[in-house]
Amino acid sequence: MTAPSARDAARLAGRRLLYAVPLLLTVTFAVFALAAASPFDPVRAYAGTAGLSADQETLDRLAENLGAGRPFAARWWEWLTAALSGDLGDSTVFRQPVAQVVAERMVWSALLCATAFAAAVLLGTALGVLAARRPGSLTDRAVTSAAYVLSAAPVFWIALLAVWLFALRLGVLPAGGLTDTGSETVDPADVARHLVLPAGVLAVSQLPWFVLYVRQGVTDALAEDPVRGARARGLTERTVLLGHALRSGLLPVLTLIGTRVPELITGALLVETVFSWPGIAAATVSAATSVDFQLLAALTASATVAVLLGNLLADLLTGLTDPRVSFRDL
Amino acid sequence: MTCDAPTALPTAPAWRPAGPARRSWRTLRVGSSAGVLAAVVVAVLVVPPLVQLDQQAVHLHLKLRPPGLDHPFGTDELGRDLLLRCVHGLRVSLFVGVSAALVAAVLGTAVGTLAATLGGWADRILMRAVDAVASVPHLLLGVFVVALWRPGVLPVLLSIAATHWLSTARIVRAEVLSLRSRPFVDAAISGGASRWRIAVRHLVPGVLPQAGLAAVLSVPHAMWHESALSFLGLGLPTHMASLGNLIEDARGSLLAGQWWPTLFPGLFLVIPTLAVAGLAGAWRERINPRRRSELTL
């Protein structure tokens, strides 16, 4: 057993990269295969309402220009080679290059997700420790039950109820958007005010898992020898709980942080829609409702990349923080 | 000087309360979960055929009435009774959820059994396929499929089934691998049974309880998935209003300050989910009493 070194970590990242390449190829290929198998017609989608009145000759010409008649594998290869040079095609909904749509909106999604995630981790740790202090107590029951109820509640429903309570009933927070309507500039304070509700709802939807895992980890750690030893040495309960039990109880949570990316993306998809947050997830919904294939393909691929990065992050964090785990085992 | 025990220990020991207190808590949990699920089944199966009320009946003069004696859940923006709409919506959601979970369970069992019995390259390819599907967020995949096929019952159902078979496949594969090394399988092989016969007669029946539990547990999530798609406007058509459609329909009245058309359909999703979780927890505690975490299977 050796101390984790940067070289081992880099080797792990490299191994994951090698594994990610065939996986991404498979996923994008499947996306094109699904599109080819579906009744979706790229020509009609491109022409839009004009396609209804256009004659057959125009449609045929359009099909030829778009390369719609060729087998999907050829179109996939073309898309892939273009994507590697940064050209992801054009979005029909936003009338912009896909790469530009993604780049512009990614910032706001990242802001929302990072804020929500940080809040969920901090609040989840606090509540989990509170519940684990006395398993079976009233506090524990209350926190655990609340976590179960929250994990059963659909996030869009929580979001709508939050809008009703905070924006309509109490009138303290804006109901949606990035800035006040009519404001021309993006003012940080304004954005922060608009961020509270969506980030709060997203955090609440991610909270139950953290609470339950921290509670479990700390409860288990409290029954272990190091804690018994610390108590025997006469350390204060506070030191035992926060210095010993929490430190080892947090380890499983670190792994969880990376593997929660799919749920975070799902949550963001729904939360951004409810709050009209101009992020990438809300763009997915508009892309889907008007079948913007280029944008959908790019978004599916980038979501897959995000999930893989999350998994890598989880393993790196585990390897770095847990001396019992070697990078070679991951 | 008597050595008195430290009276108020700041932490309770890590074991759970034993004896009557624990048993009554568990009985209460199982009882209430079973009661809720029974009520759901009765409401869904019996109410629509027996109660001859039209859920689509529009009474514009009764629109957006708050919950009261005539309409326990209030009425929506067209004056339709929300309790009736919720029961019908639950019926649709439950139908989609149960059928999707069934399709997913069959698919997962088939893939898991195939991977474990064939082994070698087939196993590797099948399990990498599982990893590939698992690395795309489920709802995104659902959105993609429904967008290409246009909203309807079948695309929604299949898109849910296509994303919920992964854990079943993994569980079934692990179970089959462990069953395969048991003596009765050796006995069947030496008896001259074909590979197919061993899989169908000896391995699949052995994994059915696990696969069944996984299927039951995926029903609430399938219902959630359906309502999320419907809420995004990519789910069921509005004439088959599910709970998700009801929540989506209610957005306009919510912004006008009426909370009840949003609150009640959501509760209809939350409460059965909790009941299933409660029963599943009790069941797992029964088959593995020493399992300490609610989070592992």
Token representation of residue B44: 């869904």
Number of domains in chain B: 1
> For testing the chain A interface, which of B15, B25, B143 should be mutated: the one with the most A CBs within 10 Å?
B143
Taking an 8 Å cut-off on Cβ atoms, the answer to whether A38 and B149 are in contact is: yes
**What's the distance, CA A143 to chain centroid?**
25
Chain A (285-304) residues lying within 8 Å, Cβ to Cβ, of chain B: 285, 287-289, 291, 293, 296, 299-300, 303-304
Q: Could you say which of A149, A266, A296 has the minimum Cβ distance to residue B137? A: A266
Task: Give the gap in angstroms from C-alpha B70 to the nearest C-alpha of chain A.
Answer: 24
Which residue, A276, A266, A223, is CA-closest to A248?
A223
Q: Could you say which of A27, A219, A285 has the minimum Cβ distance to residue B14? A: A219
Q: Could you say which of B136, B232, B259 has the minimum Cβ distance to residue A27? A: B136
Residues 6+ apart with CB under 8 A from B158: B100, B103, B145
Task: Give the gap in angstroms from C-alpha B16 to the nearest C-alpha of chain A.
Answer: 6
Task: Give the gap in angstroms from C-alpha A55 to the nearest C-alpha of chain B.
Answer: 24
pLDDT tens-digit map of A131-187: 988 888 889 889 988 998 998 899 999 999 999 999 888 888 887 777 776 666 777
Which residue, B86, B33, B29, is CA-closest to B55?
B86
Taking an 8 Å cut-off on Cβ atoms, the answer to whether B266 and A39 are in contact is: no
* Alpha helices (H) along chain A: 6-37, 42-47, 50-53, 56-66, 72-84, 98-132, 138-152, 155-162, 188-222, 225-232, 237-238, 246-249, 251-259, 261-274, 280-289, 293-321
Q: With 60 as the cut, is the pLDDT of residue B10 above it?
A: no
Taking an 8 Å cut-off on Cβ atoms, the answer to whether B132 and A300 are in contact is: no
Write the CATH number for B199. Answer: 1.10.3720.10
The residue-averaged pLDDT of B14-19 equals 51
Dihedrals phi, psi of A31, to nearest 5 degrees: -60, -45
Which residue, A20, A21, A131, is CA-closest to B294?
A131
What is the predicted pLDDT for the residue at B5? 41
Q: With 60 as the cut, is the pLDDT of residue B134 above it?
A: yes
- Residue B267: pLDDT band (50, 70, 90) is very high
Taking an 8 Å cut-off on Cβ atoms, the answer to whether B144 and A213 are in contact is: no
Taking an 8 Å cut-off on Cβ atoms, the answer to whether A164 and B257 are in contact is: yes
Taking an 8 Å cut-off on Cβ atoms, the answer to whether B147 and A296 are in contact is: yes
Q: Could you say which of B16, B257, B295 has the minimum Cβ distance to residue A212? A: B295
The residue-averaged pLDDT of B265-277 equals 91
Single-letter code of the amino acid located at B291: R
Dihedrals phi, psi of B75, to nearest 5 degrees: -125, 160
Task: Give the gap in angstroms from C-alpha B246 to the nearest C-alpha of chain A.
Answer: 11
What is chain A's length? Answer: 330
Residues 6+ apart with CB under 8 A from B116: B123, B172, B173, B174, B176, B177, B180, B203
What is the predicted pLDDT for the residue at A193? 86
Q: What ipTM was reported for this prediction? A: 0.84
Taking an 8 Å cut-off on Cβ atoms, the answer to whether A133 and B136 are in contact is: no
Domain ranges of chain A: 1-93+292-330, 98-289
Give the residue on A whose Cα is nearest the Cα of B235: A289
Taking an 8 Å cut-off on Cβ atoms, the answer to whether B137 and A307 are in contact is: yes
- Residue B4: pLDDT band (50, 70, 90) is very low
Q: With 60 as the cut, is the pLDDT of residue B293 above it?
A: no
Task: Give the gap in angstroms from C-alpha B201 to the nearest C-alpha of chain A.
Answer: 34
Q: With 60 as the cut, is the pLDDT of residue B11 above it?
A: no
What is the predicted pLDDT for the residue at B9? 40
- B201 lies in a domain? yes
- CATH topology for A98-289? MetI-like fold (1.10.3720)
**Residues in chain B within 8 Å Cβ distance of A26:** 128-129, 132
**Rounded to whole angstroms, how far apart are CA atoms B244 and B230?**
5
**Residues in chain B within 8 Å Cβ distance of A270:** 139, 228, 231-232
Q: Could you say which of B15, B139, B147 has the minimum Cβ distance to residue A291? A: B147
**Rounded to whole angstroms, how far apart are CA atoms A134 and A126?**
14
H or E stretch covering B11: none
Decide: A297 and A100 in contact? Cβ < 8 Å: no
How wide is the angle at C-alpha A174 spanned by C-alphas A170 and A177, nearest 5°? 155
Query: A284 to each of A12, A86, A176, B232, how far by Cα in Å?
Result: 32, 19, 18, 11
- B245 lies in a domain? yes
- B228 lies in a domain? yes
Chain A (183-212) residues lying within 8 Å, Cβ to Cβ, of chain B: 212
Q: Is A143 an interface residue toward B (CB < 8 Å)? A: no
What is the predicted pLDDT for the residue at B7? 41
What is the pTM assigned to this prediction? 0.85
pLDDT tens-digit map of B22-52: 667 778 888 889 999 898 888 888 877 777 6
What is the predicted pLDDT for the residue at B13? 45
Query: A96 to each of A88, A92, A294, A303, how far by Cα in Å?
Result: 11, 7, 11, 20
Which residue, B263, B237, B262, is CA-closest to B250?
B262
Taking an 8 Å cut-off on Cβ atoms, the answer to whether A34 and B144 are in contact is: yes
Taking an 8 Å cut-off on Cβ atoms, the answer to whether A266 and B140 are in contact is: yes
Taking an 8 Å cut-off on Cβ atoms, the answer to whether A296 and B251 are in contact is: no
- Residue B20: pLDDT band (50, 70, 90) is low
**Residues in chain B within 8 Å Cβ distance of A265:** 137, 139-140
Domain span holding position B248: 36-42+74-287
Task: List the pLDDT tens digit at each of the 330 positions of chain A.
Answer: 455 577 888 888 888 888 888 888 888 998 888 888 887 777 766 666 666 677 777 777 777 776 666 788 888 888 888 888 888 888 878 888 888 888 888 889 999 999 999 999 899 999 999 998 888 888 988 998 899 899 889 999 999 999 999 988 888 888 777 777 666 677 788 888 889 999 999 999 999 988 988 888 888 888 888 888 888 898 888 888 888 888 888 877 777 788 888 888 999 999 999 998 888 888 888 888 888 888 888 898 889 999 999 888 888 887 777 777 777 666
Decide: A156 and A240 in contact? Cβ < 8 Å: no
**Rounded to whole angstroms, how far apart are CA atoms A236 and B281?**
36
Q: What is residue B81's three-state secondary structure? A: strand
**Rounded to whole angstroms, how far apart are CA atoms B275 and B278?**
5
- Greater confidence (B203 vs B5) lies with B203
Give the relative orientation of helices B82-118 and B166-180 as an angle to the nearest 10 degrees. Answer: 40
Decide: A145 and A220 in contact? Cβ < 8 Å: no
DSSP A261-290: HHHHHHHHHHHHHHTT--SHHHHHHHHHHT
**Rounded to whole angstroms, how far apart are CA atoms B15 and B194?**
49
Chain A (240-279) residues lying within 8 Å, Cβ to Cβ, of chain B: 241, 261-263, 265-266, 269-270, 273
Decide: B284 and B297 in contact? Cβ < 8 Å: yes
- Greater confidence (A19 vs B17) lies with A19
Q: Could you say which of B233, B259, B292 has the minimum Cβ distance to residue A289? A: B233
Instruction: Please tell me the least confidently modeled range out of A38-42, A154-158, B6-10, B140-144.
Output: B6-10
Residue A158 neighbours by CB distance under 10 Å:
21
Taking an 8 Å cut-off on Cβ atoms, the answer to whether B135 and A23 are in contact is: yes
DSSP state at residue A48: T
> For testing the chain B interface, which of A156, A161, A235, A292 should be mutated: the one with the most B CBs within 10 Å?
A156
Q: With 50 as the cut, is the pLDDT of residue B229 above it?
A: yes
**Residues in chain A within 8 Å Cβ distance of B15:** 135
